Each structure stands twice: as structure tokens, then as C-alpha cells.
A and B are shown apart, each in its own frame.
Chain A
Amino acid sequence: MFGLYESAFGFLTLGNILMLLIGAGLIYLGIAKKMEPLLLIPIGFGIFAVNLPIAGIMVYAPDGLPAVGGLQEIAEGKVGILNLLYHYGLETEVIPLLIFLGVGTLMDFGPTIVRPISLLFGATAQLGVFVVFLIAHLSGLFTIQEAACIGIIGGSDGPPTVYLTVALAPILLGPITMVAYSYMALVPILQPPVIRLLTTKKERGILMKPQTRRVSQLEMILFPMVVFIVAALLVPKCAPLVGMLMFGNLLRVTGVTDRLANAGAVLNDILILLLGITVGSLMPAQVFFNPRTLTIFGLAILAFVFSTAGGLLTAKFVNLFLKEKINPIIGAAGVSAIPMAARVAQTEGWKANRKNYLLMHALGPNMAGAIGTSLVAGIFLGMLQ
């Protein structure tokens, strides 16, 4: 009567209710705690969309993946609007790649160019990616492809994580993306204990002089081209990611393409909106509440810990050969998570020595981390696809 027999209450499971609470929790964290609000709020709402039974916003096929269809299928109620976004935006890899273009327009590689050794920290801070890849696979819970996608969470960079997971383990895209973005927001909590464990107060207090060298525009223009050409020649599968990032950055630094760079930044916002809600809709209760997903949460912490340690220990090692010592904390910023990891370096350095101002020094490895994670995604694709 009055259409009440069509209500979805009868289809609501305990899992759905728990997922609605998780979605609400993410929205709360985004609004009240300002934790990655641009992503966690759309993800939380996407979780609502998929866990309200028979709503039809995101429809799943029996194989556990979103059903495929176009406008005709939407009209027939066989798929929903989020199925289209998933199919045309994520499955085709368009959204993560274009987001990376937008990210490139926002990045300043000046600190990396001033101290090229920053690139080494960006590389060695990928340690957690490989360690967790190995652990995840040896646990027997994950295939080798799935393990790679879990490991790359340690790179702490969203677009490469989404790009790799869509290609190698699309069934895990929802949980992996949610873990990656929510843990990125937790970098200020996850990194300091590792930094303090692996360094003495004296090391953390090493004073670094402010960088006074001005990077010329020619260097800024050559940098994205050099990175793209070398990376694409040596690791061809990383070319789409590195190419988009560097193209975006080139638009930023030429001095004559400001309008395109600004457009890239706006495009970034639009795509993050679409990515967030689509990723949230990849978390129906049956996907989320299984031991594998819960294991991903634990492994991701390990990935962050090892990545932080990788960059930091490399900086300590490099110090053995340097006359003018660097503060090893900046190595930990090689974990991408821009700019949170650099801010953590600044805070920890300042706590150990009130004269320390490490932010600009830490931004170099921080930016390099984004290139490092893209390379690793390409390496995994080349070896496992």
C-alpha cells in the first residue's frame, strides 16, 4: 500500500548498516577533522550509494564487479550512473591519468632540482611498496598481482595506486583506494614514531642552511622533459603516469601556458570528485567485510612504516659521505603524500632544534616520491601484466 511494499528496508543487511556507518564515519573525519575532505567525503557518500539496497545507483554483476552497460542499460535499470563513471572513467584509466596531469600543474620541482639527491630518497622510500608486496603474496591470501596493488599503497600516491589496481586487481580497487587515501591523511600520525625510532635527537637536530640558489626557468622547463624521456625509455609502462605528471608540470613552468595549467588544476578538482564517489561505490558490504580487505588495512600500515624507514636510512647512509650533513628526516619525506610528509619532517626537525626549518628541504624528496611511485607502478605493470 502507498508503495511501501517497494521500500528497501527488507533488503537491508547488517553488513549494509555497518557500511553506512563507515561511510558516515569517513564524512565525519573529512568535515570535523579535515582529513583529506576532498576525497573522504565523496568516498563516504559513494559508500552510501552502493549500500542502499535496490537503489540502482551502482549495480553489481554476479562476478563481484560493477555491471557493464551504457545509456540504454541505465534506462532499463540494469546499471546506474556510477556504473558509467566506473566503466568510462576508471576501467579505461582516464580519471587517474588526468588527475595526475592536474597534479603536475600544481607541483613545484624547484627543491628537487636544487638538490638532485632528493630523487634518490624518492626512490629508496619505495621500500615499503616492495616489502609489503612480498609479505602480502607470501601470506597466501593474495595473488601476485593483488599483492603488488596492496604494496603500492606504501608509495602514498593516489593516482598510481588507482592506475595499477585497475589494471591488475580491479576487484580490490574500492578497499585499496580507500585505505590509500585515508592512510595518507594519517601520515602525521604514522611517520613520527618511525622517525624517532630510527634517529637520535642529535641527528634530527642537524641544522640545514636555507637554499639560496635560484632555479632558472630553463632548468624548470628541462626537468619534466628529461624525467619523461628517461623514465619512458627505461620503464616504458610508466610512460602514461609519468607523462601526464610531467606534461602538467611543463604547462606550469613554460610561462606561456598559464591558462592551460589553470585549466588542469580545475580539471583535477572535477576528476577527484568523480573518483571519490565512484571509489566509494566500489565498497558494497560483501566486498568490504572479508578477511582479505581487513588484512589490507594492516599491511598498508607496514608499507608506510617501511617506506618511511627506506628514505630515512638512505639519508643517514648518504651522510657518511657528505661534508655538509643533511638532516636524515628529509629522507622520510620521500614517501610521497604531498605535502604532509614534508610537513612532518618540518615538525620533527623543529622539535629537535628550534632553529631548524626543513620544509623546503623536505619538499624535494617529497616531489621525487611521486615520480618514484609512478615508476614502481610501471615496473609492476611491466613484470606482472
Chain B
Amino acid sequence: MDEPKLALIITAAGYGINILVLGIIAGIVWTISRLLRREQSV
């Protein structure tokens, strides 16, 4: 694969992976917070 095409793929994939990973972490953090708060209120 020529390098410009590789750079384009890395740009799209890299940005996407970055958002996906931090999105997953955000989801887990949100879920943990909800569970802990629900437990406290019960």
C-alpha cells in the first residue's frame, strides 16, 4: 500500500479508535456511578 493511502487510513481509523475507546470508558464510568448511587439510595 502506498504511504499517502496508509496515512489516510491511519487518520480515519486512529481517530475512530480513540473516540471508541474513550466512549467505552465513559460508558463504564457512567454505569458504575449509577450503580453506586442506586445502592446508596437503597
Contact = CB atoms under 8 A, between A and B. Distances in A.
Given A134-B7, A216-B36, A219-B33, A231 B19 contact: no
A234 B20 CA distance: 10
B42 interface: no
Contacts of A383: 10, 13-14
Interface stretch (A60-68, A94-102, A114-122): A114-122
Given A116-B33, A219-B32, A126 B25 contact: no
Interface stretch (A14-22, A166-174, A253-261, A369-377): A369-377
Interface in B1-42: 3-4, 6-8, 10-11, 13-15, 17-30, 32-33, 36, 40
Interface stretch (A44-52, A221-229, A286-294, A325-333): A221-229
Nearest to A383: B10
A375 B22 contact: yes
Contacts of A123: 18-19, 21-23
Main secondary structure of the interface of B (DSSP, over half): helix
A311 to B, nearest CB: 12
Given A119-B29, A222-B32, A379-B18, A230 B24 contact: yes
A144 to B, nearest CB: 5
Nearest to B10: A383
A235 B11 contact: no
Given A137-B4, A219-B36, A230-B28, A120 B11 contact: no
Interface string A352-385: 0000000000000000100110011001100110
Nearest to B21: A234
Contacts of B20: 234
A230 to B, nearest CB: 5
Contact of B18 (A117, A147, A376): A376
Contacts, number: 97
A306 to B, nearest CB: 11
Interface string A186-228: 0000000000000000000000000000001011001100110
Residue among B22, B24, B27 with max Cβ neighbours from chain A (10 Å)? B22
Contacts of A147: 7
A119 B14 contact: no
B6 A120 contact: no
A113 B22 contact: no
A124 interface: yes
Nearest to B17: A379
Contacts of A230: 21, 24-25, 28
Contacts of B3: 137, 144
A144 B33 contact: no
A105 B15 CA distance: 28
B23 to A, nearest CB: 6
B11 A133 contact: yes
A185 B15 CA distance: 25
Contacts of B6: 144
B29 A226 contact: yes
A117 B26 contact: yes
Contact of A119 (B7, B26, B32): B26
Interface of B: 3-4, 6-8, 10-11, 13-15, 17-30, 32-33, 36, 40
11 contacts: A119-B29, A130-B11, A133-B7, A133-B11, A134-B11, A144-B6, A147-B7, A219-B36, A227-B25, A375-B21, A383-B10
